[in-house]
Amino acid sequence: MKTRKLGNSNLEVSAIGLGCMGMSFSYGPPSDRKEMISVLRAAVERGVTFFDTAEVYGPFTNEDLVGEALEPFRGKVAIATKFGFQLHEDGKPGFIGPNGRPERIKQVAEASLKRLRVDAIDLFYQHRVDPNVPIEDVAGAVKDLIQEGKVKHFGMSEAGVKTIRRAHAVQPLTALQSEYSLWWRRPEEEVIPALEELGIGFVPYSPLGKGFLTGKIDETTEFASTDFRNVLPRFSLDARKANQALVVLLGEIAARNKATSAQIALAWLLAQKPWIVPIPGTTKLHRLEENIGAAAIELATDDLREIESLAAKAQGDRYPEQFEKMTGL
């Protein structure tokens, strides 16, 4: 597995990471714990050194899973986790709203360290910007944690350029995590140029369009009642029909490259910038191996041009309005 550095930092990780959320949260019922531990350890054995989780996934259960699975590899892998939400006191899924207060950040860090079974959090993201807390206070709290040796690197998720600049001035950011893929390209407008200027790495989540770009989803696909794709506008029947042309093209390019549609979608992301590290999620070993294989694919200029022409026409909003309002602050 090739490695990449996230921006100007010294955080060097596998070119493709592993998003762990879906193992216990959001995509239907949680998967079998023993099986997921096996998949996580298989990822390490195959060269993956970058794993993504968050306290809100579960809540707590995903961090606990990742901590147990990766404990034997402490010091050999980088684990990213996140703070930023006020959770329900009874532990039920979901969250009440954003909470970026410094005292809350420090509480989350202490709890995450225990669940992850590590001495320091490799990369600590603010999951979503809290409009009620100055970003300088947030960055300052993480700076304190870094000085205390409890956190190594600071990151943000789905933040806008002005907020990124203000935070970066207090505590340099190592990475921004936001949605970015062939069917969600808004970061190209302002965010990616700013990251390049500031020397901040980019970690795209949902790099396979929440599964759509794999070619395994069409207008006949039905999701489990607990699958959050049921409420996403981009997974409406009309949007799935409209965006099928992009999947067909990926399949054609995949055939020419002796690859899969998912591998082409990931290879496209890797081709955009050398400091981009996508984190596709999966619960299946064969999908993990498929995703990892994308790191070895170099797309021809003609392939990239073909993809570019069609990807610009993707249709449908990615989130319901109330969730979209929490991004790009």
Tokens standing for residue 58: 């579960």
Answer yes or no: are the C-beta atoms of 211 and 243 closer than 8 Å: no
Q: Which residue type does 7 have?
A: G
The rounded distance, in Å, linking the Cα atoms of 175 and 227 is 28
Distance of CA 201 to the CA centre of its chain: 13
Strand order, beta sheet including 201-205? 18-19, 50-52, 78-83, 121-126, 151-157, 173-179, 201-205
Ranges of H-type helices in 175-300: 191-198, 237-242, 244-256, 261-272, 285-293
Catalytic residue among 57, 125, 180, 205: 57
Tokens standing for residue 207: 């790099």
57 catalytic per annotation: yes
Given the DSSP bridges, would you call strands 3-5 and 12-14 parallel, antiparallel or unpaired? antiparallel
Tokens standing for residue 124: 């600590």
Tokens standing for residue 75: 């010091």
Beta-bridge partners for 50? 78
The structure tokens 């955009």 sit at: 272
- As annotated, the active-site residues are 57
